[in-house]
Amino acid sequence: MSVTTETPPNTLPLHIEARNPGMALDMDWVRAVQANTSAIERRVKSLPGRRSVKKDYQAAWLLKAISCIDLTTLSGDDTAGRVARLCAKARRPVRDDLMQALGFEGLTVGAVCVYHEMIAPAVAALEGTNIPVAAVSTGFPAGLTPFELRLEEIRQSVAAGASEIDIVISRRQVLTGDWQALYDEMRAYREACGDAHIKTILATGELGSLRNVGRASLVCMMAGADFIKTSTGKESVNATLPVSLVMIRAIRDYYERTGFRVGNKPAGGISKAKDALVYLSLMKEELGDRWLQPDLFRFGASSLLGDIERQLEHHVTGAYSAGYRHAMG
């Protein structure tokens, strides 16, 4: 048995695009952003039933999803041993017998995401691979530490070996409509990141409206974000299809006007393989195949990989296995 796909996993190296340099804050463009909530909800409601894939095609899409996972551990009881085990899973995300049955090899996840203190063990465990280490920063998850400390946290994470930095914005700038302050904050974060790619967490569940999500997405891209990300995973409402659609369309508008591609990362609450397929189909329909590569699309997830592996085993054997057989470490 072998699987085929139009956009096979890991066919492109990470970060091959010219980075989004940002632009001057265009308040006319920001104010023009609106969101028709009922239309957005109708659009995403149609996806799960209309865009279902089966058999070999489903297996191919699930392999694609794996290549786009930021395999994440952000717990207070993280240890170097836990991170090392997670990195081993990142290097070999699916059991060898299943990969052989599927006729596929060389698959890895998109990145490993950890707190600053766990960067060193993650870098050591991933040595010899092209899997980047991402670190959450800027007072994650609330983003309410002193500004200079947030900047220093970024610099120290980059110095420790993180090649991607997941920052959180100050939600109050969005809620009060202080777009200049949000822009200036993001520019400072981008400068502190240097060559490391910056993934901007909007914490969409705390922004109040879909219009705010769209405007915040645009301002952060104007300030030089390489990715815009839905959530920290710590809010009461995390990634949803409506907010993802708003962010994706902001990315499309930004690309059409500037020529620079910005990535998208839904995160928090995406734990089932069927949900991953819906997000992938949304990306394909709205932005096209280029945005199905891990340099432009990621899932922020900790348990999603286990369910995908379970579905792949069902595809190969015809039987569902217990969830505990697909541990992350």
Which residues is 301 bridged to in the sheet?
71
Query: Which pLDDT value is given to residue 316?
Result: 95
Question: What does the pLDDT look like over 242-297, one tens digit per residue?
Answer: 999 999 999 999 999 999 999 999 999 999 999 999 999 999 999 999 999 999 99
Catalytic amino acids?
166, 229, 265
DSSP 131: P
**What tens digit of pLDDT does each residue of 70-91 get?**
999 999 999 999 999 999 999 9
Rounded to the nearest 5 degrees, what angle is found at the Cα of 149, between the Cα atoms of 87 and 157? 25
Q: How far apart are the first and last CA of the chain?
A: 27
Beta bridge partners of 197: 164
At 157, which helix (H) or strand (E)?
A: helix 147-160
Distance CA 234, CA 230 (A): 11
pLDDT of 15: 56
pLDDT band at 17 (very low <50, low <70, confident <90, very high): confident
Contact 201, 175 (CB under 8 A): no
Question: Which tens digit of pLDDT belongs to each residue from 115-160?
Answer: 999 999 999 999 999 999 999 999 999 999 999 999 999 999 999 9
Q: pTM value? A: 0.93
Neighbours of 32 (CB within 10 A): 12
Q: What is the pLDDT of residue 128?
A: 96
Determine contact, residues 107/94, Cβ cutoff 8 Å. yes
Domains by residue range for the chain, with CATH? 27-324 (3.20.20.70)
pLDDT in tens, 176-216: 999 999 999 999 999 999 999 999 999 999 999 999 999 99
Amino acid identity, position 69 = I
What type of residue is 216? Answer: A
